[in-house]
Amino acid sequence: MFLELDGHGPHYSQLTRAMKSAILSGRLVAGARLPPTRALAEELGVSRITVLTAYEQLRAEGYIVGRVGSGSYVSTSRAEPMPPQQAPSRSITPLTRYAKRARQLVDWSIPARHRDRRLDMQYGRPQVNPTLGTLWGRELAWAATHTRLEYSNVQGLPVLREQICDHLARRRGIRTSPDRILIVSGTQQAITLASRVLLDEGDEVAIEEPHYFSAWQQFGAHGASLLAIPTDQEGLVCSALPKQAPRLVMVTPSHQFPAGPTLSMARRQELLRYARIGSCWIMEDDYDGELRYESPPLPALRALDDDDRVIYVGTYSKVMFGALRLGYMVLPEVLCDDFINAKYLCDRGSPAVQQAALAHFMENGGFDRHLRFMTKELNSRRRELIAGLQQHAGDRVRIADAHAGMHITVWLSAYDHAQVDALIADAHERGLGLYSIAPHYQKPPDVPGLILGYCGLSKAQLHEATQLFGECLDAIDAAARELSPTRRRRA
């Protein structure tokens, strides 16, 4: 098999890159059988572990699939690894108010990412640990033979809820008990359940500006009246919350999504006070609070909540992978029964085999090891990205607070929105997938910004990506110099 290794970095990542390029260029067609790992290792003069690791990484990213006993094949579904991208049929008028609102809110063009770009900086592709596929396969196999196959506990397997309590106490400062935990299919379902339990049509929900647009869509489709509350360097501006408290405030305190700041301790106290006085609920979306670098995490909002008003939501989509569709809620005591009822009516409980596999992975220490690996790896990619931005973009971008998670937000105050749109289009042409922060705002921000996801690219790729980014900025600067002086960069 003809594969050209580029000589940069460890052998397994060279091989992964070479195979990806063969697949993307069509040299390896969908459905093609890959050589057995031993044979390829001999042919390339590398160890079999190197080939196994590369195959594992390709499998995790959806480039190849493995068939037990018959080897690995180029994936036939690689073209659509994400949710369906086609707009739903518009052939009938919507039959319900929900369907009508959902049509208005769900914009299928937003997730139409630049997945086909060689260097895609899409946020939230957590294929960081190349061994996770193998580890997870083992856990699933174990769980399949150790799980009772009848309908399981609606609230979630007790063993998983116990593991989550232990984990939350150790890592997030939250003391809770398994009877307060509800296992859900990710944050998305937590929001759906919260809408059903807490909101009638027209009830108010305060949400950060900028925000996680899926949360906006979910609440909006349910018929909530949404209030966009500004954020600044300390997170949610609590003083901008309305005098009359809404039913719910949705926040991302550990790492404001997508702008980056951590909700300061003073603001945390202010928000809790507000909820107590106004008798409203807070939903704490701790989507990547586990992934913290350099500065220690603040305790979760839930850990400071003496009034039992915070609904804490954790997800395995970032720390494991999105396709797992598992997350959990820590519920205020008085809301437990209503949420469990809603979960029962929704799907009778999340898949038990996956829950058992996850509980076992947590119990035997595999999850903690994986988390340590991920944190270390992501931190080194984050540093590479920051160093690359400093080198190639310099003062043309301002890097926002970047101490957590899987993405960095950069602001381009010296450019206008049209210039940044042109920059994105140009980057796309050059094989670099960049994403504007604008879709996460209800009203476009004054200053254009980009969300740079760094979990889907290796350090070498990040270096190359920042170099390309710098070249795209140079091109925009050159175009501005040729245009009228008013379009010129202010710097």
Ligand X SMILES: Cc1ncc(COP(=O)(O)O)c(C=O)c1O
Site residues for ligand X, window 437-466 (CB under 6 A)? none
Residues 6+ apart with CB under 8 A from 274: 238, 241, 245, 249, 280
Distance of CA 310 to the CA centre of its chain: 22
Q: Which of 63, 136, 219, 287 binds ligand X (CB under 6 A)?
A: 287
Q: Is 163 in the site for ligand X (CB under 6 A)?
A: no
Give the DSSP H/E element, type plus range, for residue 198: helix 186-198
CB 281 within 8 A of CB 311: yes
Q: Which part of the chain contacts ligand X (CB under 6 A), choosing from 72-80, 103-111, 315-323, 342-350?
A: 315-323
- 321 vs 415, beta carbon nearer ligand X: 321
Q: Which of 315, 419, 436, 461 binds ligand X (CB under 6 A)?
A: 315
Q: Which of 285, 290, 305, 426 binds ligand X (CB under 6 A)?
A: 285
Q: Is 327 in the site for ligand X (CB under 6 A)?
A: yes
Q: Two tokens at 126? A: 């957590």
Q: Which of 13, 53, 176, 187 binds ligand X (CB under 6 A)?
A: 187
Q: Please name the residue ranges forming H helices in 46-157.
A: 48-60, 97-105, 132-146
CA 280 to each of CA 83, 234, 250, 448, 465: distance values in angstroms, whole numbers, following the listed order: 34, 22, 11, 33, 44
Q: Is 322 in the site for ligand X (CB under 6 A)?
A: yes
Residue 211 CB, shortest distance to ligand X, in Å, is 8
CB 152 within 8 A of CB 349: yes
CB 275 within 8 A of CB 246: no
Give the phi and the psi of residue 400 in degrees, each rounded to 5.
-75, 170
- 245 vs 326, beta carbon nearer ligand X: 326
Q: Is 317 in the site for ligand X (CB under 6 A)?
A: yes
Q: Is 252 in the site for ligand X (CB under 6 A)?
A: yes
CA 338 to each of CA 42, 133, 326, 334: distance values in angstroms, whole numbers, following the listed order: 60, 36, 20, 8
Q: Which part of the chain contacts ligand X (CB under 6 A), choosing from 68-76, 181-189, 390-398, 421-429?
A: 181-189
- 246 vs 327, beta carbon nearer ligand X: 327
Site residues for ligand X, window 111-130 (CB under 6 A)? 124
Nearest to 252 by CA among 298, 221, 217: 298
Residue 340-379 contact track with ligand X, rule CB under 6 A, x = bound: ----------------------------------------
- 83 vs 296, beta carbon nearer ligand X: 83
Q: Two tokens at 309? A: 């008003």
Q: Which part of the chain contacts ligand X (CB under 6 A), choosing from 186-194, 219-227, 372-380, 437-445?
A: 186-194
- Residues near ligand X, by CB under 6 A: 124, 186-188, 212, 252, 257, 285, 287, 315, 317, 322, 327
